[in-house]
Amino acid sequence: MKTIDAAEAKTHFARLLERAANGEQIVITRHGTPVARLVPFVKSDGERTRLAISRLKASRKGCWLGGLSWKGLRDEGHPTPARP
């Protein structure tokens, strides 16, 4: 991973964007302290997203609240709004 000072990054920004587009990660520093990271943009993979959602749904099967209401648990400790 390449490290570059902010002033130099500003001067060579277009070149750094090209390097990031080619898969490189670049850490930008200010006075030697890392402040940002320039990384390649990765498009969302629809299939991976669908798989993650299906795994989450499968993991909640078999979970139960022992007869309790999830709304009741959510609202526990919160005052009930007054009705006119």
Integer Cα distance of 39 and 34 in angstroms: 14
Quick one: residue 16, left, alpha or beta (phi over 0 = left, psi -120 to 50 = alpha)? Answer: alpha
Domains and CATH numbers, the chain: 2-38 (3.40.1620)
User: Is 44:53 a contact under the CB 8 Å cutoff?
Assistant: no
22-72: pLDDT as tens digits: 999 999 999 999 999 999 988 778 888 899 999 998 888 877 778 887 788
**In sequence order, which ranges of the chain are alpha helices (DSSP H)?**
6-11, 13-21, 46-60, 70-75
Phi, then psi, of 14 in degrees rounded to 5: -60, -40
pTM: 0.52
